[in-house]
Amino acid sequence: MKQGRRAIEVAKAVVLVTPVVLLLWMFNRYLALDGELTIEYDFNGESSYVSEFTPLGRAWDREENLRTGETYQRIVGEPVYMSVDVPWSFDEVEMTVEYQNRNQPFIQFGLVKTTDPWVVDLKPAEISAIDTALAEWDAVEEDGVTLLQKERSFETFGEFVTGFPEDASIGYYNYFPPHIYIDDTYEKQAEGTEINRLLRGPHSFATYVKDEPLKCEFTVTDINREEGEDPVSIGVVRDSTILHEELLNDDGVADASRDATGSRTMTIDIPELPEGMYTLVFHANNDIVIESIRCGQHKFVAISHLYLVNSEEYSDAFPEIDTSETILTFHGHKLSARTAHTEGIQTLFIDDQPLDVYAVDAPFWWEEGNASEYHELRVVKNDIQLDAPGFFAFEPEQAFNPLYGLRYVDETASANDFDYILVKEYTPPTKTTSYTYQSATFSLDGVEGDRKSLDFTIAAPGIARNQNELTIHNVSFTFTRDSLWERVKNKFSSDK
Amino acid sequence: MKTDIHKQIVFDLIPFTFRVLFIWYLVAVLLELLFHGLVSEVLSLDLFLWVVILLAVFSFGIEYYQRSQSK
């Protein structure tokens, strides 16, 4: 009997003490006294800290496998966003995702740092071209850069840099090789480049210089469609170094009056430059329209982006606007076209293949397997933004590939496209028979606001148009900062 | 004799656990309102409530049984 009473007392003590211990542990976790807070979300119901992936359409509603009881969310478009609200500010976060990948060759995880301007810190999650090369090719690592070779030709990375294989196809990711290609076939010509099509907003151009001055003249107009000042700068860049910068102040009209204030000219004139490719970075907002470009160089292409304006939509700013079609030479294997106005709804032709742009503010894609071909691109109505991992020339004679044998490893690349791949800061994901696991660490420095409301993203280019799919089963975030003890210590040491 | 001990343990412990957990449930809800995510990120408040309800049912059942036995 006495034993029974004793057992009851012990059991009651356990019932009383357990919640207290649990509460203390919960407070320790919540307050992150040890400097760490881990939040996990398995898509089973709602979470206090984590939202499911949005927007709907790109991400489906949460689902449950009724046989196994597993919960998950399906991703069919990109990018998708997940909001995480934490009670305190932290310094760093590690995002770990458990997922199943159905044929998506390129995935990145990201953290939105600022919304205006839109800045996202993207980290690689899964790149199948590099994964294949890492598994099957020879690898040499130096200073964090991994050189992958289909056939082992170089013993060290240093050998690769000194004996750079200019004729080889080289893929790069997170690392651009410090090599300047010299085109032995290039000869300067008396006749340079003249472009009289209207181009809106920021652009980058590439040109080639050999035994000649780099002389370019940009005529620009401020159309004042948006609020704010519209300064312009043109930077001359070689091997990631700005050699020269030309500036033009705002026209003095800062409001959205839609008054075009006339043409102004910016001139770049650099007499002597070493031979090679140079980039002209035209930095401006969408109120600035380039009316014409005149350049002494005869090789001249726009890099990755072109915003063609010659349309009735802009007749208020340019009453005598030429609305005839634009015929471009395009080098690349995929292209997106987007218009902001109903006047821009049209059908483009890429080597006579039609690309229908049938809605405003939506990208329409064209894609082809071969990355190294030139195409004729016919833009019938203009008023369109073209984006591509490639180059646009206004005349076939002006076209050249400023990257030469280099190609960025993107979702359309496969290991077979390359002889070498240069990669930095990439660890392939861990794969089991059922799931893939990948982590990415983000610094929270530079995140706007109080760093308690964070937006994470999964970018999977091409997932919708190739009808690929990701199913996300679990996402966990480990936030870290100094422990309470370290913060107290730092406080007192900094006060001294 | 042994069955009596077990019976006593159960009859004593279940109402006690119910009372303790009922109070802790109220505390947990209050804390969750004050510190969003403190409790709900660790344990399900819905599940907690169901446990309390279940204990309440057993507890009142035991009380009813004991009253009927003492008559």
Q: What is the pLDDT of residue A363?
A: 86
Three-state SS for A19-56 is HHHHHHHHHHHHHCCCCEEEEEECCCCCCCCECCCECE
DSSP E strands, A316-382: 326-331, 334-338, 346-350, 353-357, 364-367, 374-379
B37 in contact with A, Cβ within 8 Å: yes
Q: Do B41 and A49 touch (CB under 8 A)?
A: yes
CA gap A239, A258 in Å, rounded: 38
CA distances from A293 to A104, A284, A400, B61 (A): 41, 15, 17, 90
The answer to whether A283 and A205 have CB atoms below 8 angstroms apart is no
Neighbours of A435 (CB within 10 A): 16
Residues paired with residue A477 on neighbouring β-strands, in sequence order: A39, A95
Q: What is the pLDDT of residue B2?
A: 59
Question: Would you call B2 exposed, middle or buried from its count of C-beta atoms within 10 A (0-12, 13-18, 19+)?
Answer: exposed
Q: Which of A14, A29, A30, A477 should be substituted to probe chain B, the one whose Cβ sees the most B Cβ atoms within 10 Å? A: A30
Q: Do A30 and B35 touch (CB under 8 A)?
A: yes
B60 in contact with A, Cβ within 8 Å: no
Neighbours of A28 (CB within 10 A): 12
Instruction: List CB contacts (< 8 A) between A39 and chain B.
Output: 41
Q: Which contacts qualify for B19-27: CB closer than 8 Å, 24 or more apart?
A: B20/A15, B20/A16, B20/A19, B21/A15, B21/A19, B21/B48, B21/B51, B21/B52, B21/B55, B22/B52, B22/B55, B22/B56, B24/A19, B25/B49, B25/B52, B27/A23
DSSP A225-287: -SSS---EEEEEEETTEEEEEEEE---S--S-------EEEEEEEES---SEEEEEEEE--TT
Has residue B1 got a pLDDT over 70? no
Q: What is the pLDDT of residue A262?
A: 87
CA gap A304, B16 in Å, rounded: 72
Average pLDDT score over residue span B16-31: 93
CA dihedral of residues A297, A298, A299, A303 (deg, nearest 10): 70
CA gap A32, A41 in Å, rounded: 18
Which residue among A3, A26, A87 sits closest to B42, beta carbon to beta carbon?
A26
Phi, psi for residue B41 in degrees, rounded to 5: -75, -15
Q: Do B41 and A39 touch (CB under 8 A)?
A: yes
Q: Which residue of chain A has the CA closest to B37?
A: A48
Chain A: nearest CA to B32, how far in angstroms? 10
Q: What is the pLDDT of residue A254?
A: 87
Q: Which of B41, B47, B59 should be substituted to probe chain A, the one whose Cβ sees the most A Cβ atoms within 10 Å? A: B41
Q: Which residues contact A465 (CB under 8 A, 6 or more apart)?
A: A365, A367
Rg (CA), chain B: 16
CA distances from A347 to A296, A325, A331, A384 (A): 34, 11, 19, 11
Q: What is the pLDDT of residue A334?
A: 86
Q: What is the pLDDT of residue A6?
A: 81
Q: Do B37 and A8 touch (CB under 8 A)?
A: no
Which residue among B20, B39, B41 sits closest to A16, beta carbon to beta carbon?
B20
CA gap A309, A204 in Å, rounded: 16
Q: Which of B22, B30, B38 should be substituted to probe chain A, the one whose Cβ sees the most A Cβ atoms within 10 Å? A: B38
Chain A: nearest CA to B68, how far in angstroms? 24
Q: What is the pLDDT of residue A491?
A: 81
Instruction: List CB contacts (< 8 A) between B36 and chain A.
Output: 48, 87
Q: Do A26 and B20 touch (CB under 8 A)?
A: no
Q: What is the pLDDT of residue A372?
A: 66
Neighbours of A174 (CB within 10 A): 16
The tokens 């933004």 sit on which residue? A385
Q: Give first-to-last CA distance, chain B, whole Å.
A: 22
Angle formed by the axes of helices B2-34 and A2-31, to 10°?
A: 20
Chain B: nearest CA to A431, how far in angstroms? 28
Q: Do A15 and B41 touch (CB under 8 A)?
A: no
The SS3 of residue A303 is strand
Instruction: List CB contacts (< 8 A) between A44 and chain B.
Output: none
ω into residue A389 within 30 of 0, thus cis? Answer: no
Q: What is the pLDDT of residue A286?
A: 92
Q: Do A29 and B42 touch (CB under 8 A)?
A: yes
pLDDT (tens, 9 = 90+) of chain A, 496 residues, equals 666 778 788 888 999 999 999 999 998 888 888 899 999 999 998 888 999 999 999 999 999 999 999 999 999 999 999 999 999 899 999 999 999 999 999 999 999 999 877 899 999 999 999 999 999 999 999 988 999 999 999 998 889 988 999 889 999 999 988 888 888 888 888 888 999 999 999 999 999 999 999 999 999 999 999 998 999 999 999 988 899 999 999 988 888 888 888 899 999 999 989 999 999 999 999 999 999 999 999 999 999 999 999 999 999 999 889 999 999 999 988 899 999 999 899 999 999 899 999 999 888 988 876 666 889 999 999 999 999 888 999 999 999 988 888 889 988 888 998 999 999 999 999 999 989 999 999 999 999 988 999 999 999 998 998 899 999 999 999 999 998 888 888 888 865 5
Q: What is the pLDDT of residue A496?
A: 57
The SS3 of residue A459 is strand
The tokens 């309800």 sit on which residue? B53
Q: Which residue of chain A has the CA closest to B18?
A: A15
B26 in contact with A, Cβ within 8 Å: no
Q: Which residue of chain A has the CA closest to B7?
A: A4
Chain B: nearest CA to A112, how far in angstroms? 23
Chain A: nearest CA to B70, how far in angstroms? 21
CA distances from A345 to A311, A349, A361 (A): 11, 13, 10
CA gap A57, A60 in Å, rounded: 6
Q: Which residue of chain B has the CA closest to A49?
A: B37
Q: Which contacts qualify for B23-32: CB closer than 8 Å, 24 or more apart?
A: B24/A19, B25/B49, B25/B52, B27/A23, B31/A23
CA gap A115, A368 in Å, rounded: 33
CA distances from B35 to A29, A31, A386, B40 (A): 12, 10, 49, 10
Chain B: nearest CA to A31, how far in angstroms? 9
Which residue among A1, A11, A48 sits closest to B40, beta carbon to beta carbon?
A48
Q: Do B8 and A4 touch (CB under 8 A)?
A: yes
Q: What is the pLDDT of residue A369?
A: 63
The SS3 of residue B29 is helix
| DSSP state at residue A91 | S
Q: Which residue of chain A has the CA closest to B5?
A: A4
The SS3 of residue A136 is helix
Q: Do B20 and A48 touch (CB under 8 A)?
A: no
Q: Which residues contact A334 (CB under 8 A, 6 or more apart)?
A: A365, A366, A367, A368, A388, A389, A390, A412
CA gap A66, A106 in Å, rounded: 30
Judged by average pLDDT, the poorest of A115-119, B2-6, B48-52 is B2-6
Report ipTM (2 d.p.): 0.88
Pull the structure tokens for residue A387.
Answer: 């984006």
Q: Which residues contact A299 (CB under 8 A, 6 or more apart)?
A: A186, A207, A208, A398, A399, A400
B47 in contact with A, Cβ within 8 Å: no
